[in-house]
Chain A
């Protein structure tokens, strides 16, 4: 296990520098006038140009600029948004509601995906199984830009089951509809993996043994099979986090939830370069750290993984 952890950590460091470098390079790729890009649509005055050049070290070389960017990231200094606010502060304000939204979404997704996946796996090839497979296909094809506005239109504006937008301190009830929308972006893959994994495990020797011992079928399915089937589902947490982050940008924008995604969407619309890059960099780092944690957890749960 120790060797595995060390190897994964080394890989992680490489990926960390690589991924932040990609974000940085994407930001600097193909821009004729970085200052104009920073300022947005209005014409930049000479004094503003000088100030921005100074603040973003634009007169330095590419690698020196990357160095300043990394230094800022590692010391938690993300600079200032074009609105003059401190980006780290904006991020700190935005976090809590986004985390609540994401947790709610993950809970909803896991509850539905696991129960449905297990039932579909037990009755493989049956009507229920084929029905859920078709449903997952439909869900996979639903872009978030279709799902979020339509859900808001139907369930909040027409049926009035949920509020259409949230207040500053969003209550769980206000977050429920957006969380369901967000959950649908990850349900399909989770469900499919659970189902496949249950189907495989049902054929395993230990299941036959458990049945032969005379254990109740319910216990065999929901304790023996389910526990082992959830291991591959755990690896999905890492991937799903990326999907959730992307989904949160649109969902929070549609439902007016003042979280990270909402701020990011605002930043994109107002062409607030420093804000977008700062937020994206932090999200990428979180994504990488969670993926590392998931990999280690997976190796702890399934010893076979450690000996590739």
Chain B
């Protein structure tokens, strides 16, 4: 007891009076990181574009006049018109929603699957771990896009725009990295003293799992999910480009790129703008994930 008092006294001159938590440390680090701020601002703008596109353009992405075919920038349409005479700027802005919607939903689904698999494999260990890790290995044995074209091609026979088919495909096929990260953090946290203390005090397995182990295993899991959000957005565009993603009347960057590519020799602008927006969105999420990872794990720098 007296030792503990000594330490408190010795630390007293510290401004805050108490040591910072891991999250507090990470936040202090993040606040000084330029890349974090750049990506955070980008992400906010992208989310705004996704949920309130009318803030950015008053044009209707569905209003197209063939007489405007391949016209350059003019008046309201600052990016010009595509081969059907649609406003490229309006379609690019409205295309954000599909990407973000699919990205967020599929990442949540992958996160949930990864959480269940990783947490149970790490916490229970033994046979459970062996079986779940084998399942993860098997899923890793199918390269992502190859699995996706088989799965998504079969799913999207119906009449809708394909959002759910793509979300389901991405969710089912991309949870493995999240599961692996969750498993290894759970194994690391499980052997900490405070978990042993909790167990000796009679905490139930459920309480240990969700009160003590899970919150302390979340850091790298969240990082992986942030990066996955970026790569899933890229994957949605790739699937839409190949014709097994969003379809029909859906407004999506991947579809825009696929359409514009056939006419790239005649008019390049309908190809360039959705590409730039797609790359910037993916970059924003990957940079954000990278910055958060650096903050939580300075060793990796």
Contacts and interface: CB of A to CB of B under 8 A. Distances in A.
Contact of B149 (A28, A142, A145, A268): A268
Interface in A18-35: 18-19, 21-23, 26-32
B161 interface: no
Contacts of B283: 137-138, 141
Contacts of B150: 23, 26-27, 276-277, 280
B241 interface: yes
B42 to A, nearest CB: 11
Interface residues of B, number: 46
Contacts of A31: 154, 157
Given A26-B154, A31-B154, A287-B143, A152 B134 contact: no
A276 B237 CA distance: 19
Contacts of A242: 143-144, 146
Given A143-B279, A145-B254, A149-B261, A137 B271 contact: no
A50 interface: no
Contacts of A22: 138-139, 141-142, 147
Nearest to A144: B238
Contacts, number: 152
A288 B141 contact: yes
Contact of A19 (B141, B157, B242, B258): B141
A287 B154 contact: no
A60 B141 CA distance: 27
Interface string A150-162: 1011000110000
Interface in B120-135: 134-135
Given A18-B134, A36-B157, A276-B149, A143 B238 contact: yes
Interface residues of A, number: 56
Contact of A37 (B145, B157, B278, B287): B157
B271 A150 contact: yes
Nearest to B240: A145
Contact of B153 (A36, A144, A153, A271): A271
A249 interface: yes
Contacts of B157: 31-32, 36-37
Given A149-B271, A250-B242, A280 B141 contact: no
A62 to B, nearest CB: 15
Interface in A65-80: none
Nearest to B173: A26
Given A276-B153, A280-B147, 18 more contacts: A15-B137, A19-B142, A22-B142, A26-B150, A26-B151, A137-B286, A142-B282, A144-B238, A145-B278, A146-B237, A149-B275, A153-B264, A158-B268, A242-B146, A250-B242, A264-B149, A276-B149, A284-B142
5 contacts: A21-B138, A137-B283, A141-B234, A149-B264, A242-B144
Interface of A: 11, 14-16, 18-19, 21-23, 26-32, 36-37, 137-138, 140-146, 149-150, 152-153, 157-158, 241-243, 245-246, 249-250, 253-254, 264-265, 268-269, 271, 273, 276-277, 280, 283-284, 287-288, 291
